[in-house]
Chains A and B, each alone.
Chain A
Amino acid sequence: MSLSPVQFIAVPLFAAFLIPLIGKASKETVKLVPGIVLLYLSYVALNLFPRGLERPIVEHIAGFNPPFGITLYYGPLAAFLTTLVTLIGFVIWLYSYKFIIREPFEKYYMLFMLLITGSTGIILTGDIFNMFVFLEITAIAAYSLTAFLRDKDGAEAAFKYLLIGSFSSTFVLLAILLIYMQTGTLNLADIALKMADVPITMKIFILILFITGLGIEAEIFPLNGWAPDAYSQAPSPVGAVFGGIVVKATIYALMRIVYLMFNFHSVLHFFVIMGVITMLIAEMSAMRQHQIKRMLAFSSIGQMGLVIIAFGLGTEPGVRAALFQMFNHALIKTLLFFSAGYLVFHSGSKHISALDGLGRDKPLTSFFFAFGALAIIGLPPFAGFWSKLYILLSVADAHLVTVVVLILISAVIEIVYYLRVVSRLYFKRETATDVRRTPLSGLAAMGILAVVILFVGLYPNTILDWLTPAARELMNTSEYIRTGLHLNSGLLSINF
């Protein structure tokens, strides 16, 4: 069987169907399945990555030519994001291996596999309705995982998430309906081609529906009310799943749609403003939090604000910086959630005040938390520094001085609240010791992330070399239409 992008979707799905059957034979084997699947996917990713960089792979599902069938579009951007999802998925599995020991853990792994299916589907698909289906798969898996711990607050956070999420899916569905009504097609490339003829009022309405619909999942202010509760009530690895995978896939969906369908320069300034508001409010709320996971959730929203600002610049360096920031944030926030998960576990309380002196009692976990904190606030040797620097540079290039100042202010706020936690870990008197050890698999997961973060921090060019074609792909709409629909270049010259 030849390798093809569809395996990113089909293999985890097959595994999810297989897990209950394996579970009947041996419950312990179930835990290994996601790891094997994700290792296989990384093998696929490594093999396909160079091919995707060279020339986008457009796969026609069921052999029908676009726009009549569903296509998968595996270009540099999708290659980069699927690899990211696979990597984050793998470390999350490694971490969950000893963390999720409560029954029914086979259901946890099934939901986790389906969530991976959904997010890779969002990234790969070239069809708008198919994207909606995968968005819903991701969302329903996320609702169920939020309530996985089966306590009072978990159910409530999940219900709140579900209510807001249903509104989001209604808006996206309405937008798809309007698009089908106006353009008569569902293929993304074909829509982009025909969008030029759509009246402007209709376009604006469709855009608003997409921004509200996808902005809910992508945590844009003021649509992110679900996020802090869901992050803090779900099991820690699930918080990492939200921050590392779900949000990244949705931001991708939003940006792909905006860049592809709407004349972007008029729209994108709006994104800069939304991003700034999101960032400032989130960082200020993070400052006031007493629970560590809620703090991380708000910090995650703030970082997404930064990403949206960079996307909103609409320049190639800006998009590249945004993708770099997405990559770094996925790694670092996952590391922070992992270490915070065990810090909460050892201290027995979700509150920051309970973490006093854990730095001496649990040196490794605390070290990883401090490492992540320093990386996310953007200290030089770490990965976070470079992406923030590039974002600042590209914002300065666009002559948006106010935005530069605001980003710096929010960075200062970030430093304050992260260092507050780190100082509690190390400089407060020890309160109690916990005899339970942090399991090896958890430490290994954190170790892998820390190594990658340090490596990217020392050699940022390795990642940036991949990101340049990815950013170019997002910017170059006509190229996407041409490869997506297999058109000759002559046909397109009329429209562009």
Chain B
Amino acid sequence: MRKVIAVLLLGIFGYYIFALFVNVPFGVRHDNVGQHYLEHSVQETGAVNIVTAIVVSHRGFDTLGEVTVLFLAATGLGAILYDKKGKKRRLQNASLIVKVASKLIYPLIILLGAYVFVHGHLTPGGGFQGGAIIATGVLLMFISYRRFETNHNALSWVESLAGMTFVTIGLAGLIWGTSFLQNILPLGTPNTLLSAGVIPLIYIAVGFKVGAELTALLDNMLKTIK
């Protein structure tokens, strides 16, 4: 009965939503703010990756909010699972092959993550993606080595310092420029590593922060046994 009602409700909802999209042509260029970004962002921000330019510069405030949301999730998780302090991860033995291989891959994954967030303004990627890659590296180590432990103290330092760096860069824009998060550094030549003003700095801070936060999240969740 419950299933029938659910299907009916969703059917009506889906029908109406789809009806809205029927008349919208697919794959056609619309006249919107996106076109402005495509044409002017490189001069305005110095980043050749327009998505990065939008995420960090034009809509940098969203990104600050995004970083906050992750920080919030890590904090909330810490508060909700507080009782689990002093607990350990379930001990399980990975095979020798997994252990050796993951030990070999681990530094490479970290390196890849760092590459992705340092080159956020040039190639697809950025702070969030890089941070997530780093966290997968740590997850691999969690899975294969039962006694692999992260340094909680260092993680929370990295988290807080990276977050404060972001806000400080923003406030610096308010002090030396005209508004919050405004670029105060020279833009440089587009398509080189040292370009795009504060974008790489912000993305490096975000990369560190996301990496540390996701690691802490995983660590918190995996602990189940006293």
Q: Touching in the complex, A and B, CB below 8 A?
A: yes
Residues of A that sit less than 8 Å from B by CB: 1-2, 4, 6, 10, 13-14, 16-18, 20-21, 24, 59-64, 67-70, 103-104, 107-108, 110-111, 114, 117, 121, 125, 127, 129-130, 133-134, 136-137, 140-141, 143-144, 147-148, 150, 155, 158, 174, 178, 180-181, 183-186, 201-202, 205
* A184 interface neighbour in B30, B60, B174, B181, Cβ under 8 Å: B30
A98 CB, min distance to chain B CBs, angstroms: 19
The 10 residue pairs across chains A and B that have the minimum distance between CB atoms: A184-B32, A144-B76, A17-B163, A133-B65, A107-B79, A6-B180, A63-B182, A62-B181, A70-B61, A14-B167
Is residue B150 within 8 Å, beta carbon to beta carbon, of the partner chain? no
Given contacts A1-B174, A62-B57, A70-B61, contact A137 B72 (CB under 8 A): yes
CB-CB under 8 A from B111, the residues of chain A are none
B75 & A64 in contact (Cβ 8 Å cutoff): no
Chain B residues near A185: list those with CB within 8 A: 32-33
Q: Given A64-B44, A114-B75, A202-B20 in contact, is the A13-B60 Cβ separation under 8 Å?
A: no
1/0 contact string of B171-192 vs chain A (CB within 8 Å): 1011101111111000000000
Number of interface residues of B (CB under 8 A): 56
CB neighbours (8 Å) of B87 from chain A are: none
Contact A144 B57 (CB under 8 A): no
A interface secondary structure, majority: helix
Is B60 within 8 A of A141, CB to CB? no
Give Cα A105 to B170, complex, Å.
Answer: 28
A107 — which chain B residues lie within 8 A by C-beta? 75-76, 78-79, 82
Tell me the bound Cα distance from A103 to B36 in angstroms.
50
Indicate which residue in B73, B77, B80, B173 contacts A62 across the interface (CB closer than 8 Å).
B173
Contacts of B167 in A (CB 8 A): 10, 13-14, 17
Q: Is B107 an interface residue (CB 8 A)?
A: no
B32 pairs with A180, CB closer than 8 A: yes
> Per DSSP, are chain B's interface residues mostly helix, strand or loop, or mixed?
helix
Q: Judge whether B44 and A61 touch: CB under 8 Å.
A: no
* Nearest CB of B to A414, in Å: 34
**Sample of 29 A–B contacts (CB below 8 Å):** A1-B171, A1-B174, A4-B179, A13-B68, A14-B171, A17-B164, A20-B160, A21-B160, A61-B61, A63-B178, A69-B59, A70-B59, A70-B61, A103-B82, A104-B79, A104-B82, A107-B78, A111-B72, A114-B75, A127-B59, A127-B61, A130-B61, A140-B72, A141-B72, A144-B76, A150-B80, A174-B17, A181-B30, A202-B20
CB-CB contacts of B15-55 with A at 8 A, as 1s and 0s? 01100100010000011111011000000100000000000
Q: Flag whether B71 is at the interface (Cβ < 8 A).
A: yes
In the complex, what distance in Å separates the CA atom of A302 from the CA atom of B188? 58
Check if B33 sits within 8 Å of A68, measured CB to CB.
Answer: yes
- B65: which A residues are within 8 A, CB to CB? 121, 130, 133-134, 136-137
Q: List B residues at the A interface (Cβ < 8 Å).
A: 16-17, 20, 24, 30-34, 36-37, 44, 57-62, 64-66, 68-69, 71-73, 75-80, 82-83, 153, 156-157, 159-161, 163-164, 167-168, 170-171, 173-175, 177-183
Asked if A140 contacts B80 (CB within 8 A), the reply is no
Q: Which chain A residues lie closer than 8 Å to B33 at the CB level?
A: 67-68, 184-186
Pairwise interchain contact B31-A64, C-beta atoms closer than 8 A: no
Contact A133 B66 (CB under 8 A): yes
Partner of A111, one of B60, B61, B75, B153: B75
Contact B72 A144 (CB under 8 A): yes
Look across to chain A and name the residue whose beta carbon is closest to the beta carbon of B162: A17
Min CB distance B216 to A, Å, is: 11
CB distance from A185 to the nearest CB of B (A): 5
Q: Is the CB of B68 within 8 A of A137?
A: yes
For residue B9, give the distance in angstroms from its CB to the closest CB of chain A: 12
Set of chain A residues within 8 Å of B82, measured between Cβ atoms: 103-104, 107, 150
